[in-house]
Structure 1
Amino acid sequence: MTDTNPSENAAQNWNEYMGEMNDAFINSLERNVEAQTAFVDSWMSAFDTSETDETAADGMEGYVGVYNAWMDAAQKQFERINDALEGEDVPVEEFRDIWLKAANDAFKEVTTTSEFASMTADSVENSMTYKQTVDEATEQTLSAFGLPTENDIQEVGKRLLEVERRQHDIERKLDQILDTIEGE
């Protein structure tokens, strides 16, 4: 026979459970801090040193907003974990929703900055330059093989429209001549 009573076993089980919950929360918090650090590193490396101080400051304000969104989510998660430990029925989906809202808020903070707009504009400009280079190379390759290029097809289309315009003009004049002959 053992000397332990059921209440001691329950307390020990509770302590083990709480220890596991604390470890899980600490691991989650560490992952969040690591994710924030990675975000800061990538955000800082994305800054273009040629940007104005005002644009860079706006970008940093966006980062601060992102940081606050993540920290608010961590605080809400911590509060809801405490609520659950106190016996409140907290659905697991609520934790997911906390982090989804934080991700949406963080995205909004970043995408509304002038730094993001500037980086997006640079990216679009680079893409358009690349597209133009590819289009020119394609035109040259097609021309070298004696195949019609986009410019050739557009030229044929313009000529066809001109022929149709002239045809309609001739038909209109013929209709006038016929109307004059029938009227005599």
Structure 2
Amino acid sequence: MKKWLVPVGIIVVLVIILSSGYNNLVKLSEGVNSSWSQVQNQLQRRADLIPNLVQTVKGYAAHEQDIFTQVAEARSKLAGAATVGEAAQEDQALNSALGRLLAIAENYPQLKADANFRALQDDLAGTENRIATARMDYNNAVQAYNTKIKVFPTSLYAGIFGFGPKDYFQAAENANTVPNVDFSK
């Protein structure tokens, strides 16, 4: 009678180990999803601030129509990004367009003095900090998840259960390039 206890015991221990590992992978995967959701929330917050900022600048710099179009197009593309990689690329394009928009203020001292513009600029700066924090949290969650699926013994069964690596939010290749702002036109 005791001969069957050893194989049953081994099976029970294996089931417990597998189920615990599976549950841990689910928690880590959901952590990545939650962190990505926070990145998207902050990107949306910034996208919601942009029309107000554009309208404020338009009041002072009506002839700068090209930059307003670029900001609107970049904002639209970021909203339509389907993957983490696309979001990173479109976010960089929006950052570049916003940088050019904010640089316009340097040519309009009365705009820089406008309380509404200053408040919007402060809100945008705060949102940029939130985005940076959310990106860092997302990448940390991805690192923990990707590490877990690659280490032994989890690597033996992670793929079987459909847990593959997640993409990091990475800056675009040209992120270190300073945008060229030319007001001579």
- TM-score, structure 2 normalization: 0.39
- TM-score, structure 1 normalization: 0.39
